[in-house]
């Protein structure tokens, strides 16, 4: 792909895209634009693709690692308290749909409103569950401390 195509100009640089697997348009395979000389050298293109795939895999691995746990076992009680406070703030951000839209919902009644309100409320419930899990961890630690005395 190149921004020079629509303007019927000489192609100076291009980037690589591929059809998305879910059928929702294209996804960028190589985000960086390269000059035409780069694209004419097959070895350079293959090396760049390998590097992009490695970066993508590392990025996905980091996302999986960070999304697996709600909290890390080595966190201190103060850090867990901070997570609870953060989740309480998140709840207020996501739960306003039940108050604001409760008054104006009939004016905006369509399926997209209903879906949005449902998603917001589910997100608030998720945050409440996170708080419960963290509080359970704090209780578990307190019980272990009492048991070891």
Domain span holding position 43:
13-67
List per-residue pLDDT tens for the chain, 149 residues long: 566 666 777 777 777 766 655 555 555 566 677 788 887 888 888 888 888 888 877 777 666 555 567 888 888 999 999 999 998 888 887 765 555 555 555 555 555 667 777 888 888 898 899 999 999 999 999 999 998 88
Q: What is the Cα–Cα distance from 100 to 96, expressed in whole angstroms?
A: 6
| Whether the Cβ atoms of residue 121 and residue 97 lie closer than 8 Å to each other | yes
Is there a single domain that holds both residue 141 and residue 73?
A: yes
Is there a single domain that holds both residue 79 and residue 33?
A: no
Q: Does 5 map to a domain?
A: no
Q: What is the reported pTM?
A: 0.47
Q: What are phi and psi of 35, to 5 degrees?
A: -70, 165
Is there a single domain that holds both residue 73 and residue 141?
A: yes
Domain boundary among 22, 37, 67: 67
Closest CA to 129 of 70, 48, 74, 46: 70
Is there a single domain that holds both residue 59 and residue 76?
A: no
Total domains, the chain: 2
């Amino acid at each position: 792909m190149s921004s020079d195509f629509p303007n019927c100009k000489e192609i100076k640089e291009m980037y690589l895209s591929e059809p998305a697997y879910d059928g929702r348009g294209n996804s960028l395979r190589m985000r960086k634009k390269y000059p035409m000389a780069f694209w004419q050298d097959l070895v350079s293109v293959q090396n760049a693709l390998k590097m992009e795939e490695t970066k993508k895999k590392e990025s996905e691995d980091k996302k999986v690692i960070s999304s697996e746990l709600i909290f890390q076992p080595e966190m201190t009680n103060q850090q867990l308290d901070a997570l609870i406070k953060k989740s309480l703030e998140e709840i207020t951000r996501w739960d306003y749909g039940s108050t604001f839209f409760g008054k104006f919902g009939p004016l905006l009644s369509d399926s997209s409103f209903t879906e949005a309100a449902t998603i917001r409320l589910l997100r608030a419930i998720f945050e409440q569950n996170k708080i419960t899990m963290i509080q359970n961890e704090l209780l578990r630690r307190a019980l272990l401390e009492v048991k070891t005395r």
